[in-house]
Structure 1
Amino acid sequence: MHLYLNATSPYARMVRIVLLEKGLVEAVTLHWCDPWADDLDLLEVNPAGRIPALVTREGTTLSESLLIALYLDHTYPQRPLLPADRLAEVLHLAGLGQNLMDAAFNSVIARKHYGDEADNSVLGQRRHRAIKRILEQLNRELGDAPTNGALTLGDIATAVALDYLAFRLPEVAWQEAYPALAAWHSWVTGWTSFRETAFV
């Protein structure tokens, strides 16, 4: 398999963590690229120019991080990240993580192209409110969650989103505002797969 990615994409990091947790690192060749530079190799496999993009053993290209994760979990069922007896619960958490990731990522991109005034736009304010609401819900739902057992896709998506928020939007200071959520986050990010893929 071949994975197209870069080092600061939260979406690509999520897929890398899935590969590590499922013991598939040796089965994948990583292709580091810049999606903003219209990288020709990336465009050949994914005309949208987005990462991550996974080319399967059969030569089929998959895009969108959650879809790639679903494919990997279904095709390589060892160490399942979507346990059947908790499917709705795990997908619920993965959805919250994905929504938080989207709001944070789009805020970063808007600033990159339009400057800090992007935060004051209608869309910027809407993203800010969404981030606050999601953090409050995650704090309620995960503040008392047990910090043991195996990782799920929900854990991965949410912890990566929180890491990205701290990495790119540190002024949100969610760790100080939500100490219970920060404790849960510390448990998840203590796993080797998170340490090996940390944002730099």
Structure 2
Amino acid sequence: MQLFLNATSPYARLARILLLEKGMVDDVTLRWCDPWADDKALLEVNPAGRIPALVTDDGTTLSESLLIAVYLDSVSSRLPMIPTSQLADVLHLAGLGQNLMDVAFNTVIARKHYGAEIDQSELGRRRQRAMQRIVEQLNSELHESQLAPSITLGEIATAVALDYLAFRLPEVHWREAYPQLKAWHGTVISRDSFQQTAFV
């Protein structure tokens, strides 16, 4: 298999963490690329030019991080990331993580192309409100004591999103505002899979 990615994408990081947690690193060739440069090899497997993109052993191409995660979880029975006994809870949390990732990423990209003043636009203010609401909800739902030795897709997606928020939008100060969430997050990112894939 091949995985197209870069080092600062939260979506690509989610896929890499799945590979590490599932013990599938040796089964996949990492193809580092710049999606903003219309990388030719990336466009051949994903015409949208987005990462991550996964090429399976039979040549099928998959895009979107959560869909790639579902596929990787299905092809290896080791440590299920989406256990059927917790399906609704895991997908609920994965959705919150994905939504937080989206609003944070879109904020970063909008600022890159239009300047920080874009935050004052109608869409910019909507993103800021959504970011705050999601973090507040995560703080109300997540407790360090809930964590099991294994990890789920929901926990991975949420922890990656929070890490991306701290990496790209430190002015949000979610760690200072939500010590309970900070403790939960600190425990999750202490895992080797997170340490190996830390944002740089």
TM-score (norm 1): 0.98
RMSD value over aligned CA atoms? 0.8
Amino acid at match of 2:79: R
Question: 2:158 corresponds to which residue?
Answer: 158
Q: Where does the alignment leave 5 or more consecutive residues of structure 1 unmatched?
A: none
- Spell out the pairing of 1:25-174 with structure 2 (5 A cutoff): 25-143=25-143, 145-174=145-174
Q: 1:186 to 1:144 in 2, by over 3 A?
A: closer
Tell me the SS of whatever aligns to 2:80: coil
Q: 1:34 Cα deviation (Å)?
A: 0.3
Moved over 3 A (4+): none
- Counterpart CA distance in 1 for 2:172 and 2:148 is 27
Q: 1:145 Cα deviation (Å)?
A: 4.4
Tell me the SS of whatever aligns to 1:31: strand
- Counterpart CA distance in 1 for 2:48 and 2:144 is 40
Tell me the SS of whatever aligns to 2:48: coil
Q: Greater shift after overlay, 160-169 or 135-144?
A: 135-144
Question: 1:177 corresponds to which residue?
Answer: 177
- Counterpart CA distance in 1 for 2:199 and 2:74 is 27
- Counterpart CA distance in 2 for 1:52 and 1:147 is 27
Q: Greater shift after overlay, 25-34 or 140-149?
A: 140-149
Question: 2:189 corresponds to which residue?
Answer: 189
In the TM superposition, what whole-angstrom CA distance separates every residue of 1:89-126 from its partner, at most 9, and x where no partner exists? 00000000000000000000000000001110100000
- Counterpart CA distance in 1 for 2:43 and 2:19 is 23
Aligned residues: 200
In the TM superposition, what whole-angstrom CA distance separates every residue of 1:4-30 from its partner, at most 9, and x where no partner exists? 000000000000000000000000000
In the TM superposition, what whole-angstrom CA distance separates every residue of 1:24-81 from its partner, at most 9, and x where no partner exists? 0000000000000000010011111000000000000000000000011111121100
Tell me the SS of whatever aligns to 1:98: helix
Q: Where does the alignment leave 5 or more consecutive residues of structure 2 unmatched?
A: none
Q: Greater shift after overlay, 177-186 or 146-155?
A: 146-155
Q: 1:147 Cα deviation (Å)?
A: 3.1
Q: 1:160 to 1:123 in 2, by over 3 A?
A: same
TM-score (norm 2): 0.98
- Counterpart CA distance in 1 for 2:78 and 2:144 is 28
In the TM superposition, what whole-angstrom CA distance separates every residue of 1:126-167 from its partner, at most 9, and x where no partner exists? 000000000000000003642332110000000000000000
Amino acid at match of 1:14: L
Residue 144 of structure 2 contacts residue 183 of structure 2 at CA under 8 Å; is this kept in 1? no
- Counterpart CA distance in 1 for 2:187 and 2:25 is 23
Identity in percent? 70
